[in-house]
Amino acid sequence: MSESTSSHTTTQKADRGLLGFLSSICYIWWLETKSTVKDEGVLIFFLLVPLAYPLLYSWIYNNEVVREVPVAVVDLSHSASSREFIRDFDASPDVHAACYCNNLQEAQDLTGKQVVHGILYFPEDFDRTLNRGEQTHVGVYCDMSLMLTYKAIYQTAQAVSLKMGAERQKPRSFSFTERDEELNTEPLSVDAQPIFNTTGGYGNAILPGVLILILQQTLLLGIGLSAGTARENNRFQDLVPIGRHYDGIMKIVLGKSSCYFMVYCVMSAYITMAVPYFFSFTMLARPADLFRLLLPYLLAVIFFGMALSCLVRYRENVMLLVVFTSVPFLFLTGVSWPQSNIPGIWQGLSWLIPSTFGVRGYLRISSMGGTVNDILPEVRALWTQAVVYFVITCFVYRYQIISARKHAIAHYQMIQNSIRAACEKQAAGK
């Protein structure tokens, strides 16, 4: 009878312990959510920036490819051949013959002022040399400060020159059939077929990386600002306040992370699925595969941000840190620069950042049509980061709890000493 009573009592205690644990987590979650809603800075980076920033980026790259690049024309030949070349060149949707100049120096001045991004130059002997059957040259001067404009101008000029060259070779050909003429004018044909990003759009190439990075950077900003606010509102500038519900590491970590995770579940779905749909960007990811990628990614970023929160003393420090690292983090993902050409030390550093694997995984399933099996290395790396950063976060908050208790004990002892000194002074006065 006594054994059954004791086991029943143990079960009740365990139930109460579990309920108390869950209630503490919910209480901390509620406090963190309430402070997030009341804090304008955190609210901006948790809601407003993730909602508006992806739309801005997508709007910029909505045209996908560069069109109507302005070009200056210097035609010293003034011949039918040069006019034909200019007409075919201007007919391309990629470029536009915006200005006609009398000399090369005038065209260079326009390029320096960014009125045009390239120059098409025809020498005086252009038509005469062409009619003699000799090789003639068309000068193409491009602004290399923007590679996309250079590509548009150069490729268009090259296409027009090949077309005109083929047309002038046909009358002099001794071929008897159309096939023989094709072999004479174009003995080697190269047929380019894009594998991924079939539109050739810059937006489809760069946007997946930007969207995933926005998730990370805004989340880090919000967590950092929240940590800065907690320190500023605390008397001893401790990250963890003294309270009945803040006496366990797991309670604090799970309670705070639940608030961030619930908010960004909605934000991540909006950024990764809704934004590409709004602007008609390529989106081949299936919801199930996207969920399997975003779940460890969000957890890794949250715990990464919470681990870094120990470095945040003031709210302003977060802005400087995150803004400074945004562009390097994008480079390290391998989206804007081939990862194989990144120095080894920087590749090693990129493995510590969740956005590196998040961007690669999202790019494969959204733009390349991959499945979860194709991104297993990225998913495993993100889960590893989530676990490692969770453990680090627990150590960080354990240190913060110990520090908060030390400050509280020191403050209590100071009050006790003040009371004792006052009592002794009063007794001595009597």
210-256 pLDDT, tens digit per residue, is: 888 889 988 988 888 887 777 777 665 556 666 555 567 788 788 88
Q: With helix as H, strand as E and coil as C, how does 262-290 read? A: HHHHHHHHHHHHHHHHHCCCCCCCCHHHH
Compute the distance between CA of residue 7 and CA of residue 17 in angstroms, rounded to an integer.
15
287-304 pLDDT, tens digit per residue, is: 889 999 999 999 999 999
Mean pLDDT of the chain: 77
Q: Which domains does the chain show, CATH number per domain? A: 19-60+201-416 (no CATH), 69-185 (3.40.1710.10)
* 274 — pLDDT class (breaks 50, 70, 90): confident
Asked whether the predicted pLDDT for residue 66 surpasses 50, the reply is: yes
Compute the distance between CA of residue 141 and CA of residue 109 in angstroms, rounded to an integer.
13
Asked whether the predicted pLDDT for residue 96 surpasses 60, the reply is: yes
263-273 pLDDT, tens digit per residue, is: 899 999 898 88
* 407 — pLDDT class (breaks 50, 70, 90): low
Q: What is the pTM of this model?
A: 0.73
Compute the distance between CA of residue 301 and CA of residue 299 in angstroms, rounded to an integer.
5
Asked whether the predicted pLDDT for residue 8 surpasses 50, the reply is: no
**Mean pLDDT in residue range 41-51:** 79
Instruction: Tally Cβ neighbours within 10 Å of residue 302.
Output: 26
